């Protein structure tokens, strides 16, 4: 049997030197030229989600509307997870390069961060506090609000079988009805991916100017 790791392999081309190579996990440096390729990996992860979204019409036709809806909901959950994981990696790397001890970094992640990087309401102030850089610098308020509203849909999907609950309505103040399925569209997930890539890429380059 082929090793199961091959199914988790990430194939990538370095944008600096053109090296076509594979890694397991996310690499920070190109094995050939040594340039920073971390955000290339992140974009590739988002590209996987976009390919899945592009297949939603076929899935709907062959397997039904509910399967297609679950695919889109899962795509949103994955988008939020990549956004959160990327921020955690970037902030941790920044704190390490600033010389903070490992135990202090772990304390910051446990007591200050937790799962707050999933919440657009908290993430701007938190990134400023920890890195002196605003995650959303240069991003207009309309896009920030849009990202926040789309990300909030993850709550009922993850915690309430996709059913709109009172907590979601209090956070979003939408016109959706309690007890009904939350509606997530392909366009919304693609929009959240586009905004996420823009702000994460800018944040990365500002944190690590000399290595960008």
pLDDT at 43 exceeding the cut of 70: yes
- State which residues form the domain around 29: 1-35
The answer to whether 142 and 150 are in contact (CB under 8 A) is no
- Whether residue 61 is found in the same domain as residue 128: yes
Mean pLDDT of the chain: 84
For residue 125, the model assigns a pLDDT of 92
Strand 20-23 to strand 10-13: parallel, antiparallel, or no bridges (unpaired)?
antiparallel
- Whether residue 22 is found in the same domain as residue 123: no
Q: Whose structure tokens read 């202090």?
A: 104
Domain count, the chain: 2
- Whether residue 19 is found in the same domain as residue 104: no
* Ranges of H-type helices in 160-185: 166-172
- Whether residue 102 is found in the same domain as residue 152: yes
The answer to whether 157 and 76 are in contact (CB under 8 A) is yes
- Whether residue 64 is found in the same domain as residue 28: no
Where does the pLDDT of residue 82 fall: very low under 50, low under 70, confident under 90, or very high at 90 and above? very high
Question: What helix, strand, coil percent values describe the chain, rounded to 5?
Answer: 65, 5, 30
Highest mean pLDDT among 63-77, 98-112, 149-163, 171-185: 98-112
Exposed / middle / buried, residue 152 (Cβ in 10 Å: 0-12, 13-18, 19+): buried
Where does the pLDDT of residue 36 fall: very low under 50, low under 70, confident under 90, or very high at 90 and above? confident
- How far is CA 84 from its chain centroid? 5
- Whether residue 130 is found in the same domain as residue 160: yes
- Whether residue 119 is found in the same domain as residue 68: yes
């Amino acid at each position: 049997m082929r090793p199961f790791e091959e199914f988790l392999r990430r194939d990538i081309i370095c944008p600096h030197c053109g090296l076509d190579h594979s890694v397991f996990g996310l690499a920070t440096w190109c094995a050939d030229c040594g340039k920073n390729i971390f955000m290339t990996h992140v974009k590739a992860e988002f590209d996987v989600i976009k390919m899945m979204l592009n297949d939603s019409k076929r899935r709907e036709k062959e397997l039904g509307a509910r399967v297609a809806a679950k695919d889109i909901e899962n795509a949103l959950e994955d988008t939020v997870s990549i956004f959160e994981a990327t921020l955690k990696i970037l902030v941790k790397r920044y704190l390490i390069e600033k010389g903070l001890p490992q135990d202090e970094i772990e304390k910051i992640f446990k007591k200050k961060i937790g799962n707050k990087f999933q919440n657009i309401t908290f993430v701007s102030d938190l990134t400023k506090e920890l890195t002196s850089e605003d995650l959303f610098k240069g991003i207009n308020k309309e896009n920030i609000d849009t990202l926040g509203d789309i990300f909030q849909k993850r709550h009922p999907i993850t915690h309430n079988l996709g059913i709109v609950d009172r907590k979601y309505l209090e956070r979003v103040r939408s016109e959706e009805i309690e007890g009904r399925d939350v509606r997530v569209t392909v366009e919304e997930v693609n929009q959240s991916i586009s905004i996420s890539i823009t702000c994460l890429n800018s944040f990365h380059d500002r944190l690590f100017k000399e290595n960008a």
